[in-house]
């Protein structure tokens, strides 16, 4: 579970509510017609802009913004070094049995291509093609939430216009103008809140998750090709560490030193 996403949304709502309560009444901000206009309009526009299967797929992908259970790059490097040692001692064919213990389908596919004696250039092309399609699928999910982030404020403005029109119909009674104007502006509030606290941040978090996944798969591609080329496991490890940020690289080296001393 990614606490940052949940804490960010909860804390954001708490501060907004607290800001309202300092000098106002929270009940004045609860307006069902405004909620229906903003949420209903945003969802409807999204269905118009994107095919239904893609919207439903994006709703499934959103769980990635709230999860933090992905395998760390350092763990992937350790697995690849283990495979490199197996290949060096027992040959490439021994990787087929070793792949059964690996849960990642992308890595398993790469291993089987190597075991089958596929040309290195073809292995790279096949794996990078799959990487490109994964990235495109991720961009679709991000794009849907970015679109929702732009639709919500727009429908907030539409709700405000509807409220102003209704207000203008009752100008003969000055006492209704203030409350009617407040209700008209609430839809803009809802649209801006949903866009800037939910839809756009989720789109950005999905973009970050996508970059992390692509980097992990790039490490796998580079590692598998190095194994196929028969490179020394130590050289492969140093090559793959280049993908890691300095702090994570230092942590990995410390862990390796502790294991060696132990």
The pLDDT tens digits for 66-105 are 776 667 888 888 889 988 998 888 888 888 887 777 778 8
Q: Is 223 left (phi over 0), alpha (psi -120 to 50) or beta?
A: alpha
Task: For residue 5, tell me if it sits in a domain.
Answer: no
d(Cα 217, Cα 204) in Å, to the nearest integer?
A: 20
What average pLDDT score do residues 207-220 get? 89
Q: Is residue 195 part of a domain?
A: yes
Instruction: State percent of the chain over pLDDT 70.
Output: 95
Per the model's pLDDT, the better-predicted residue between 256 and 27 turns out to be 27
Position 240 in a domain: yes
- DSSP label at 212? H
Which of 224, 209, 220 is closest to 243 using CA atoms?
220
pLDDT tens-digit map of 215-229 = 889 999 999 999 998
Domain count across the chain: 1
Gap between the Cα atoms of 116 and 205, Å rounded: 38
Tell me which of 65 and 240 has the higher pLDDT: 240
Residue 42 has pLDDT above 90, yes or no: yes
**Any domain includes 148:** yes
> pTM of the entire structure?
0.81
Instruction: Work out the burial of residue 184: count CB atoms within 10 Å of its CB; fewer than 13 is exposed, 13-18 middle, 19 or more buried.
Output: buried
The pLDDT of 18-38, averaged and rounded, is 86
Report the pLDDT value the prediction gives residue 150, as an integer from 0 to 100.
95
Q: Which of 94-108, 187-201, 242-256 has the lowest mean pLDDT?
A: 242-256
The pLDDT tens digits for 108-133 are 899 988 988 889 899 999 999 999 98
Q: Which residue has the tokens 């990078």?
A: 128
The arithmetic mean of pLDDT across residues 24-47, rounded, is: 89
Tell whether the model's pLDDT for residue 188 goes beyond 80: yes
In a domain, 231, yes or no: yes
Give 82-129 as a DSSP string: HHHHHHHHH-GGGHHHHHTT---HHHHHHHHHHHTT--HHHHHHHHHH
Average the pLDDT over 228-237 and give the result: 89
Whether residue 110 lies inside any domain: the answer is no
In which band, very low, low, confident or very high, does the pLDDT at 256 lie, cut at 50, 70 and 90? low
Q: Is residue 103 part of a domain?
A: no
Q: Tell me the residue range of the domain where 36 lies.
A: 31-73+121-261
Return all residues near 134 (Cβ < 8 A) that are at least 6 apart.
Answer: 213, 214, 217
81 is a domain residue: no
Give residue 257's pLDDT. Answer: 59
Q: Give dist(CA 107, CA 105) in Å, integer.
A: 5
């Amino acid at each position: 579970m990614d606490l940052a996403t949940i804490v960010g949304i909860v804390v954001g709502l708490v501060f907004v509510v607290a800001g309202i309560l300092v000098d106002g009444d929270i009940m004045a901000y609860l307006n069902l017609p405004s909620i229906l206009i903003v949420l209903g309009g945003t969802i409807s526009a999204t269905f118009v802009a994107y095919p239904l299967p893609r919207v439903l797929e994006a709703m499934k992908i959103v769980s990635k913004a709230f999860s933090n259970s992905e395998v760390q790059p350092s763990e992937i490097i350790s697995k690849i070094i283990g495979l490199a040692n197996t290949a060096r001692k027992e040959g490439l064919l021994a990787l087929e049995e070793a792949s059964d213990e690996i849960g990642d389908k992308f890595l398993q596919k790469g291993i089987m291509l190597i075991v089958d004696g596929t040309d290195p250039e073809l292995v790279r092309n096949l794996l990078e093609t799959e990487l490109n399609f994964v990235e495109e699928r991720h961009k679709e999910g991000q794009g849907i939430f970015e679109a929702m982030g732009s639709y919500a404020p727009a429908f907030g403005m539409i709700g405000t216009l509807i409220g102003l029109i209704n207000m203008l119909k009752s100008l003969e009674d000055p006492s209704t103008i203030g409350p009617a104007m407040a209700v008209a502006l609430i839809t803009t509030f809802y649209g801006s809140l949903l866009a800037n606290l939910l839809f756009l941040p989720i789109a950005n978090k999905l973009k970050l998750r996508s970059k992390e996944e692509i980097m992990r798969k790039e490490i796998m591609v580079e590692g598998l090709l190095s194994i196929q080329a028969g490179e020394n496991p130590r050289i492969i490890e140093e090559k793959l560490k280049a993908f890691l940020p300095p702090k994570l690289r230092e942590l990995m080296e410390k862990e390796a030193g502790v294991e060696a001393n132990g």
